[in-house]
Amino acid sequence: MSNPPRVAIITGASQGIGDSLVAAYRKHDFAVVANSRTITKSDDAMVLTVPGDIAQPGVGQRIVDAAVERFGRVDTVVNNAGIFIGKPFTDYTDEDYDAVTGVNLRGFFEVSRAAVPAMLRNGGGHVVNISTSLVDHANSAVPSALASLTKGGLNAVTKALAIEFAGRGIRANAVALGVIRTPMHDPASYDTLAELHPVGRLGEIDDVVDAVLYLENAPFVTGEILHVDGGQSAGH
């Protein structure tokens, strides 16, 4: 009997980077459990879609339980779902705070906490967090304190998990992004956003996918914050 496929859970999987990550992991022979708040059933029998808001308690466990029930294991979690609200610090509302921390922090916590025990049963696994270079290189033209608050937390916990589980076969890494050409951004803003990067262009979704797959296939790399940002974090 053939070995069961490795299984990746990907959040924020209905469009943009997440949708492309689903396709990329399938090309690498993973089964995929794809989550977003609203996601339709896949025609691919090896892609299980699980709708749900990961900011809500219990949803992360439900996603992991569905993965184990359908495919028998969990090997990788890509915490791709995220909310970005850019505005001056004192303009943020309680609703903004709840929305951003709910998805960026609670969502990471919900899914990853549920997935790690499943990974340990397999002898190891991989947690990948999608972060932002604004954590390292704040920009007065892009006020975004809630992004720094939450994604900075993800950077910190990436290293914490890498060390906590290094002896038990689980790796943890993050990919810190510049501005990527996705449906999140108005095409009219592309030229202005490109100027945020020393290389003078936006990142492409394939740049992100390639970085995640590099980390997936790099067994000696853990605790890494890999910047995919056109040089943004190095300076300007």
* 96-100, 166-170, 195-199, 201-205: the lowest-pLDDT one: 195-199
pLDDT-based confidence at residue 162 (cuts at 50, 70, 90): very high
pLDDT-based confidence at residue 191 (cuts at 50, 70, 90): confident
- Does pLDDT of 1 surpass 70? no
pLDDT, tens digit, for every residue of 28-60?
Answer: 999 999 999 999 999 999 999 999 999 999 999
25-33 — which CB contacts under 8 Å span 24+ positions? 25/76, 28/213, 28/216, 29/5, 30/5, 30/6, 30/75, 30/76, 31/5, 31/6, 31/7, 31/70, 31/71, 32/7, 32/8, 33/7, 33/8, 33/9, 33/63, 33/66, 33/67, 33/70, 33/71, 33/74
* Stretch 203-225: mean pLDDT: 97
In this predicted structure, what is the pLDDT of residue 207? 97
pLDDT, tens digit, for every residue of 16-26?
Answer: 999 999 999 99
Domains observed in the chain: 7-234 (3.40.50.720)
In this predicted structure, what is the pLDDT of residue 190? 84
pLDDT, tens digit, for every residue of 84-141?
Answer: 999 999 999 999 999 999 999 999 999 999 999 999 999 999 999 999 999 998 888 8
In this predicted structure, what is the pLDDT of residue 187? 84
Q: How does the average pLDDT of the chain come out, rounded?
A: 95
- Does pLDDT of 2 surpass 80? no
pLDDT, tens digit, for every residue of 174-190?
Answer: 999 999 988 777 888 88
